[in-house]
Chain A
Amino acid sequence: MMTKMLEFISQGGYAGYVWSAYGMTMTLLFIETVGLRRGNRAILARLQRLLRLCNAGDKQ
C-alpha cells in the first residue's frame, strides 16, 4: 500500500513536473473561484449597507 502510494507520487520520476503543472492549475482555478465568491458577497453586502443608510435617512 505504502509503496504504491510512493510510486504514484513519484510519477515515474517526473513528480516535480507533473505536480507543479497540476498544482498551478488547481491553485489558479481555486483562487479564481474563491475570489469570485468573495467579490459577489462583498458587492451584495455593500448594496445592503447602502440601502440601510438610505432607509435610515428617509425615516428621519
Chain B
Amino acid sequence: MTKPWSRFAAPASFYPLTGRLIPVFWVLAAAFILIALYWGFFETPDQLGGSNAQKGYYRIIFIHVGAAWMSMWLYAMLVAWAAVGLVFKTRLSFMMANAIAPTGAIFTFLALWTGAIWGRPSWGTYWDWDPRLTSELILFFLYIGYIALHSAIDDNRRADRAASLLAIVGLVMVPVIFWSINCPDPNQCAALHQRSGLRKVDGNILFAMLTMTLGFWMYSFATTLMRVRSMILTREAETAWVQDLVRAPERG
C-alpha cells in the first residue's frame, strides 16, 4: 500500500479528512440550492414564447429533474464503490457504497413524488405508467432491496459483500429492465415524456436546474460522508485511534 491515494483508504486517515470536507460541502450545498431557488422563482420567464403564459407548476421541474438525475448517478456511484470494494477488498469502499444508498433512495422517492405532482396538472393524473416514471419506481425497489439485504445480515463482512454483489447484478439488469419498460412492444417504443434535449430549454430555467443539481450533489457528498463517519466509528470502536479521538475533548 504505497500508492498515494491509498493513504486515505484507511479509515483512520479518512475520518479527519472528512471532518474538514463536510462543512465545505454543507456550505456549497446551501449556497447552490439557495441560488437555484432564487433563480427558479424570480428570474425565470413568465412567458412561454409570445403570449403563451407559462404554467406555474413548471417550477417543480427544478427539483424533479435534479432528483431524478441524482437517483441514477448515485446508483452508479454505489455500484462503482461496491465493485471497487469487491475487487480491492477495501473496507472503506463498502462503507461508501452503503452510505450512498439511503441518500439515493431519498432522491428516487423525491423524483417519484415530484413527478406525480407534475403529472396531475400536465397529464391529468397523479400516476401514469410512463416509462421513465416506472423506471424510477423500479430503481426505488432496487435501492430498497440493497438496503434491506444489507440490514438483514448481521455479519458486516458478509453484508457488505452480499449487498455489493446484488448492486452489481442490479446494474447489469437495469438497462434490460428499462428497455423492456420502454418498449413493451419490441417493434416500437413509446414514451409519454417529451424527448427533449437540454439545448431547447430556456437559459434561465437551465441555469436554475443545473445549479439545483449541483446543490444536490454537494448535499449528497455531505450526507454520504457523514454516514461513513458514523459507520467508521461503530465498526472501528475497538481500535486505538477511535478511542483517542473519543478521549479528546474536541471532536475532530
Contact = CB atoms under 8 A, between A and B. Distances in A.
Answer whether A and B touch in the complex at a CB cut-off of 8 Å: yes
B223 A33 contact: yes
Given A21-B118, A28-B109, A32-B106, A44 B59 contact: no
Contacts of B110: 24-25, 28
Interface stretch (B147-155, B199-207, B230-238): B230-238
B103 interface: yes
Contacts of A15: 56
A3 to B, nearest CB: 16
B63 interface: yes
User: DSSP class of A's interface residues: helix, strand, loop or mixed?
Assistant: helix
Given A40-B230, A47-B242, A22 B56 contact: no
Interface of B: 41, 53-57, 59-60, 63-64, 67, 102-103, 106, 109-110, 113-114, 117-118, 120-121, 219, 223, 226-227, 229-230, 233-234, 237, 242-243, 246-247, 251
Contacts of A50: 237
A20 interface: yes
B49 to A, nearest CB: 17
B59 A11 contact: yes
A43 B230 contact: yes
Interface in A8-35: 8, 10-15, 17-18, 20-22, 24-25, 28-29, 32-33
A14 B114 CA distance: 13
Interface residues of A, number: 28
B60 A32 contact: no
Contacts of B121: 14, 17
A32 B102 CA distance: 9
Contacts of A13: 56
Interface in A37-56: 37, 39-40, 43-44, 47-48, 50-51
